[in-house]
Amino acid sequence: MVRLGATDIGDRREDTVLDRDAGPLYAQIRDHLLGQINARELAPGSPLPTEEELQQSFGVSRSVVRQALGELADRGLIIKQRGRGSVVVPAVEHHRRANQAGGLRQQLASAGQDLQTRVLLLERRDPPRRVVEQLDTGAVWYLERLRSVQDEALIYMQTWVPADLFPDLDKAALDNGSLHDAMRSTGVHPEGGQRHVEAVPADATLAAYLQCRESEPIMLMRGVTRDRTGRGLESFSAWHRPGTVFDIDAHVNDAQPMLERLERAGALLAEAEQLLKGTG
């Protein structure tokens, strides 16, 4: 076993150890860099050390380094750029419209992405007080789902659904299916509701589901979906993996036309008062 001195790999100084009796050296270097990519110590889009730096760090020939980088490139984890070194493959951005209730599958499909849904848990459970107030009932289903794109986890969701409205909610039907479609099949039509988005740190459970670092900031969307009468159909919390982009259609309130209309209305009112006085 050969222990080298402190090295700079992925902006982190550490002792690098290669065991010359534990298999090919290129494979050990590959796995070392792979571990840093998976731990996001080498973040998406960031440059790798140069071939020369890796040679010096690991005490190996350039051909060994090139073989290690070649395998990472073949796996689609890095991009080798002639004359510019290698970079970690940039993270794919997933867009969703924050002001649209439901329709995530259609939103992703428009970007050429296929949404998969895996039901982790579906059971009857006593809800917290806020859910009782939002849904106006304590008889609810508790639903956990993991939603992915191309086998990459995108959203972890916890959802509460009134059991009296949907007594036959079925796990098998919701796997790779839509909860809102299941609601519509019973004659209940989701209309929308208030949404709240904030950044929160990932705990150990969320980090495992969303394949990110513990304490890494992720986006949490909470909301209640109602029908056209205002009846609560679901209360949900949805945690989105890093790289999710929320698109919002923003409009400027044009106050000037409103002021002009108010001034015109005031003038008409004054004119009407004068006419009434004249006929009096």
Q: What is the domain-level CATH number for residue 184?
A: 3.40.1410.10
Residues 107 and 242 in one domain: yes
Please, are residues 74 and 61 in contact by the beta-carbon 8 Å criterion? no
3-class DSSP assignment, residue 204: helix
Residues 63 and 128 in one domain: no
Determine the distance from the C-alpha atom of residue 268 to the mean position of all C-alpha atoms in its chain, rounded to a whole number: 54
Residues 62 and 112 in one domain: no
> What does the alpha-carbon distance between residue 126 and residue 135 come to, in Å, rounded to a whole number?
13
**Predicted local distance difference test score (pLDDT) of residue 131:** 97
**Predicted local distance difference test score (pLDDT) of residue 253:** 62
**Predicted local distance difference test score (pLDDT) of residue 13:** 37
Mind listing the pLDDT tens digit for each residue in 33-57? 988 887 778 888 889 998 999 999 8
Burial category of 265 from C-beta neighbours within 10 Å (exposed 0-12, middle 13-18, buried 19 and up): exposed
Residues 164 and 227 in one domain: yes
Please, are residues 78 and 48 in contact by the beta-carbon 8 Å criterion? yes
Q: Is residue 46 part of a domain?
A: yes
One-letter amino acid of 91: A
Residues 143 and 67 in one domain: no
Residues 55 and 69 in one domain: yes
Please, are residues 236 and 223 in contact by the beta-carbon 8 Å criterion? yes
Residues 54 and 128 in one domain: no
User: How many Cβ atoms are within 10 Å of 211's Cβ, its own excluded?
Assistant: 14
Burial category of 38 from C-beta neighbours within 10 Å (exposed 0-12, middle 13-18, buried 19 and up): exposed
**Predicted local distance difference test score (pLDDT) of residue 251:** 61
> What does the alpha-carbon distance between residue 238 and residue 71 come to, in Å, rounded to a whole number?
36
**Predicted local distance difference test score (pLDDT) of residue 5:** 34
Looking up tokens 């709240």, which residue turns up? 196
pTM score, whole prediction: 0.61
The tens-digit pLDDT sequence of the chain (280 residues) is: 333 333 444 444 344 667 776 788 999 999 899 888 877 788 888 899 989 999 998 889 999 999 999 999 888 888 887 777 888 887 665 666 655 555 565 655 555 667 889 999 999 999 999 999 999 999 999 999 999 887 788 899 999 999 999 999 999 989 988 999 999 999 999 998 988 989 999 999 999 999 888 888 899 999 999 999 999 999 999 999 887 776 666 666 665 666 676 777 777 777 777 766 665 5
Please, are residues 157 and 237 in contact by the beta-carbon 8 Å criterion? yes
Structure tokens at 171: 């796990």
Domain boundary among 41, 63, 88: 88
Residues 138 and 240 in one domain: yes
Tell which residue, 45, 41, 44, 47, has the closest CA to residue 69.
Answer: 47
For every residue of 39-76, DSSP letters joined together read TTSS-TTPBPPPHHHHHHHHT--HHHHHHHHHHHHHTT
Residues 190 and 220 in one domain: yes
Please, are residues 185 and 195 in contact by the beta-carbon 8 Å criterion? no
Residues 82 and 98 in one domain: no
Residues 74 and 111 in one domain: no
CA angle 193, 197, 198 (to 5 degrees): 155
Q: Is residue 267 part of a domain?
A: no
CATH of the domain at 52: 1.10.10.10
- What domain count does the chain have? 2
- Find the domain containing 50 and state its range: 2-88
Domain boundary among 27, 61, 88: 88
User: How many Cβ atoms are within 10 Å of 4's Cβ, its own excluded?
Assistant: 14
**Predicted local distance difference test score (pLDDT) of residue 12:** 40
Residues 107 and 238 in one domain: yes
Q: Is residue 274 part of a domain?
A: no
Domain boundary among 88, 105, 139: 88
Q: Is residue 259 part of a domain?
A: no
